[in-house]
Amino acid sequence: MITLTAKTNDILHLEKGISLIKDYFPARLSQRLSLTKVSAPLFVQSGTGFNDDLNGVEKPVKFNLKNIPYPVEIVQSLAKWKRMRLHQLGLEPEQGIVTDMRAIRPDEVVSPIHSFYVDQWDWEKRILAEHRRISYLKETVEQIYQAILDTNAMLEEAHEKALDLPAAVYFIDSETLLQRYPGLTPKERENRIAKEHGAVFIMGIGGLLSDQAVHDDRAPDYDDWSTANEEGFYGLNGDLILWNPAMNSALELSSMGIRVDAGSLREQLSLKGCGSRRELLFHSNVLNDVYPLSMGGGIGQSRLCMFLLQRKHISDVQSCIWPENI
């Protein structure tokens, strides 16, 4: 006979909440963005350009498989793989895919919101050339946020404690944010704007701002952060950030954007000094217009759970390995 202690009961209750979120949210996301769930790889062939090098310094876990003549590496994200998969599936414009992404980032600096293990709902959607606009990006962000609001309401119906969330997302370009708070660091600016509005989407992340710094680094070969947009700024991407009462700080839930086309990929590879990547399979297919135009992003599963269930550390909602001091 097993006797459940109060602590064990608390953990089981938490696991129930995690399960509710992980079952409900991706279904609502798929409905709102017209996504079909697909399976995804845990590792990809090295040297093809399909793995994500994130900020350009993180090194993936690489190893060999029996009877396979080339090395493989565990994914760090699926930003590029998903675009290839859209091409293979032949989806129509404004249709897309979503998958449970599992990744290992061995160079990650762990913190209350960062782990070596990454779990995301990774999604990608085919778009038309006329969709490569900030207005279309905003419409998509609003649909994602509505799926979060739907999930919060579901938890309340399931007798879980729900959050008091703002009805809409506040949009701001990273350059405007810099001008509003010139004496603050990018993370301090995120905290200030998130606390003020509750839910914010910061646009144009990756390119140089007027202070000759970037709001945050972005790789040159998935999000478009260099194209001039209709609002007079640069970039067609951004981060969805919510104010987290449990931590008394901002929490990034999603990094997403309209992906590079041939012109912006060529420009961003040049800006980052990565021109040699043009010969890789993924990059040559983008440059030669083999892959469809797309937009996409990742939504942190553990982060959404810790936010909606108001936990202070990602280890509360995720099994991983942590340094002893944590």
**Hey, which residues are catalytic here?**
52, 105, 120, 239, 252, 255
CA dihedral sign, ordered 155, 161, 165, 167? positive
Q: Would you say 70 and 104 are in contact if contact means Cβ atoms under 8 Å apart?
A: no
H or E element, residue 173 = strand 170-173
Distance CA 167, CA 198 (A): 9
User: Roughly what angle, to the nearest 10 degrees, separates helices 301-308 and 6-33?
Assistant: 120
Backbone angles phi, psi at 29, to 5 degrees: -60, -45
Alpha helix (H) ranges present in the chain?
A: 6-33, 79-89, 134-157, 174-180, 186-197, 262-271, 281-287, 301-308
Distance CA 138, CA 131 (A): 11
How far does Cα 222 stand from its chain's mean position?
12
Tokens of 48: 């093809």
Straight-line distance from the first to the last Cα atom of the chain, in angstroms, rounded to the nearest whole number: 34
Q: Would you say 74 and 45 are in contact if contact means Cβ atoms under 8 Å apart?
A: no
SS3 category, 117: strand
- Per DSSP, the residues of 181-229 read STTS-HHHHHHHHHHHHSEEEEE--SSB-TTSSBSS---SSSB--SSB-
DSSP 116: S
